[in-house]
Chain A
Amino acid sequence: EIVLTQSPGTLSLSPGERATLSCRASQSVSSSYLAWYQHKPGQGPRLLIYGASSRATGIPDRFGGGGSGTDFTLTISRLEPEDFAVYYCQQFGSSSYTFGQGTKLEIK
């Protein structure tokens, strides 16, 4: 099973700043099968990025994804107040999905 490790565990930033979140896989992941989600309390998760770098429908262009192989990143170029949440990466491989443990993005 591929293990996804996200860092940092918590990221404290201010609105307007740039956020960079990391997702490292225990073995190579197909870029096509790497996704990122935003999750807020009391809501279902929201798909942000699929295929490592493609924005999902309705996602603002301040969200960007990149990377390949075992190292992937989610970048939020200028934080808005509504962006403070928990973010998860997810991969699909060997007939199963796995999630990273999450990065909490909090207001500094």
Chain B
Amino acid sequence: EVQLLESGGDLVQPGGSLRLSCAASGFTFSSYAMSWVRQAPGKGLEWVSAISGNGGTTYYADSVRGRITISRDNSRNTLYVQMNNVRAEDTAVYYCAKIPRWGYGMDVWGQGTTVTVSS
């Protein structure tokens, strides 16, 4: 079964750091680009970042560029996002998603992990 499982969400203070993980199973992880998407409380979906299958190409939303770094470890079938200098507006449920082909939607999603930024 194709599955994505996020972890690492927590309560973090403004200005702090956090790393989220997404464990993949059921497919050849290194063959697919991956993405992070978030949903703030009461808001819609917001794309955060994406990375190619070999990790050589990364994309970021303007709202997080310079504060968030996406990466992957294909030997561990795991996707990461390092969040630095977090702000209250980073509070959200963070989903990881599989990209079958650039631009052709995101066909597998995890259940999400919750990040709360508050003092």
Please count how many residues in chain B sit with their CB below 8 Å of the partner chain's CB atoms: 24
Question: Of B35, B44, B45, B59, which is within 8 A of A95 by CB?
Answer: B59
Q: What class of interface size applies to chain A in its complex with B?
A: 20 to 34
Contacts of A99 in B (CB 8 A): 37, 44-47
Q: Which residue of B lies closest to A91 (CB)?
A: B103
The stretch of B71-79, B80-88, B105-113 in contact with A is B105-113
Asked whether, in the complex, the Cβ of B44 is within 8 Å of the Cβ of A44, the reply is: no
Contacts of A50 in B (CB 8 A): 104-105, 107
Residue of A30, A43, A46 near B103 (CB, 8 A) is A30
User: Taking each of B46, B50, B95, B106, which has the highest tally of chain A beta carbons within 10 Å of its own beta carbon?
Assistant: B106
Q: Per a CB cutoff under 8 Å, which of A56, A88, A95 touches B107? A: A56
- Which residues in B have their C-beta under 8 angstroms from that of A56? 105, 107
B47 → chain A closest CB, angstroms: 4
Cβ-defined contact, B44 with A101, below 8 A: yes
